[in-house]
Structure 1
Amino acid sequence: MRVLAFLLLCALPATAAAQTADQTLLPILNRLSTYERDLRDLNNTVERLRRQVDGLELRIEALEKAAAEKPAETPAPDAGAAAPPVAVPGETGAQPPGALPQGNALELYKQGRNLLLQARLPEAEQVFTAFLDDFPAHELANNARHWLATSFAGQGKHDAAAQQFLLAYEKDPDGPKAPDNLLKLGRAFAALGKEEEACIALSRLSRKHKQAPSAVIAAADAERRRLKC
């Protein structure tokens, strides 16, 4: 009987300690559950913003394509003016034999965009690479570089994507796609585990491009929070 009483007395402190531990751990577990829920909400917000940015890109691209395809206005010919000279191959100003006309550049560009919209990323990569090889000075060349980088990113080629997004930004740091180039550059760096570089790109977007579309700004801010910049 005395032995049983002794054992019960010994068990009391252990039971009390266990209850104290439970009371200490319970708030911690509750906070962890809250953090997990907040993280899920943040990930959902980032994904929603990404979809908004993609939709915005498509609208901008449609406007760019419409502007590129709009024919230039030709002034009415002067009845008394002499007829323009006919270009002869070999003379100054003549189109060299085998050169592709301007229309082919637009067709190639549209082909790449259509492939990208169909998620045929390897083919889109080939088309935009060919566009940049054949028309490096075309007015849509930097847009093509942006979409080439996008096709790289979609295939998980984050190193190549980062190089092209960075080059696209450097070539046109004030252009309409500059903020999106920085946003996707930051994402590419993050995918490569280069969080410091990602934070630099995203911070530059927020600092230098305050007039960027709100969806792009919000997506960049969400990425910075996710990366704890």
Structure 2
Amino acid sequence: MAQPPVEESSSVAPTTSYSGIQPYSGSTTLAQPPIETTTLITGTDSGSLMLRVQQLEADVRRLNGLLEEATQALQLLEAQSLERYVDLDRRLASGAAVEVAEGLGSESTVPTTAVSETPVPGRAVDAQAGEEAAYRAAYELVREREFSGAVVAFTEFLADYPFGRYAPNAHYWLGELYLVLDPPDPELARQNFKLLLDQYPADPKVPDALYKLGRVQFIKGNRQRSKEYLDEVIREYPSHAAAQLARQFLLENF
């Protein structure tokens, strides 16, 4: 079959007038409006972006201010908590001193014949007296709010008497002290409270150490672990003052 004439194809095409098209003269007049429009949009977007950045910077400054206030408030609370425990620990230490004195008095009444059968541990008594003196010296620094010096003193105390009578108290106070130092060290606080739990699970300070571990984990951002410690205080020691503190902390922060 013969192909249709080429000129006939125009008869079925849409009617379009090209009379208004001028020959290309090198002018960029027709391309200019899109360029201007693009520039206008870019300028608007840039202004919006700059405004958003400024808003974010303001939010960051506000949040940093709130964080600083919260940190200062927490340090104040920890310092106040430390001072409350100072009085309690002083009474406990005084009671321990009375027990030591009573023990020494009873040993002085032992007959000479008993000494030959069970030698008096003179060096042990001296060591116990030395341990007590070292503990009291470190503890006195806490009372005087010489927190950095107290950290050094308790650390040296534990190096000299790692399993001594006052070792649990020393670990507890180191945990407290690391929270009130400037800057605080939550990780070292955690380590000392955890050592108290692991090595002295029957010590009277265990409930307080559990509560403090909950606080420390909260500071470190471990909310789930924090809640576990706080719940443990409430579950295991429901009538202890630390349990009441744990309930209040959970109510305010979870």
TM-score, structure 2 as length reference: 0.59
Please list, as runs of the form range in 1=range in 2, the aligned pairs for 1:1-229 lying within 5 A after superposition.
51=80, 54=82, 56-70=84-98, 71-72=101-102, 73-74=105-106, 77=109, 81-82=112-113, 84=115, 95=123, 101-155=127-181, 156-213=184-241, 216-228=242-254
CA distance in 1 between partners of 2:79 and 2:172 (Å): 16
Q: Quote the offset at 1:111 in angstroms.
A: 1.4
Aligned-CA RMSD value: 3.1
**How many aligned positions are there?**
172
Higher relative contact order (CA closer than 8 Å, sequence separation 6+): 1
Q: Is the 8 A contact 1:49 1:219 kept in 2?
A: no
Q: Quote the offset at 1:204 in angstroms.
A: 0.5
Q: Quote the offset at 1:170 in angstroms.
A: 2.1
2:52 is matched with: none
Question: Structure 1's 217 and 48: CA in aligned 2 closer, same or farther, altered over 3 A?
Answer: farther
Structure 1 gaps, min length 5 = 1-43, 86-92
Per-residue deviation, residues 167-194 of structure 1 (Å, max 9, x unmatched) = 1122233321111101111111111111
Question: Structure 1's 54 and 160: CA in aligned 2 closer, same or farther, altered over 3 A?
Answer: closer
Q: Which ranges of 4 or more aligned residues in structure 1 deviate by more than 6 Å?
A: 47-50
Per-residue deviation, residues 134-187 of structure 1 (Å, max 9, x unmatched) = 111211111111001111111210011011111112223332111110111111
CA distance in 1 between partners of 2:215 and 2:83 (Å): 18
Q: Quote the offset at 1:207 in angstroms.
A: 0.6
CA distance in 2 between partners of 1:48 and 1:125 (Å): 19
TM-score, structure 1 as length reference: 0.64
Per-residue deviation, residues 51-79 of structure 1 (Å, max 9, x unmatched) = 4x556523431222112211023167477
CA distance in 2 between partners of 1:197 and 1:66 (Å): 36
Q: Is the 8 A contact 2:138 2:150 kept in 1?
A: yes
For structure 1, which segment, 217-226 or 151-160, has the greater mean C-alpha deviation from structure 2 after superposition?
217-226
Q: Is the 8 A contact 1:49 1:218 kept in 2?
A: no
Structure 2 gaps, min length 5 = 1-72
Larger Rg: 2
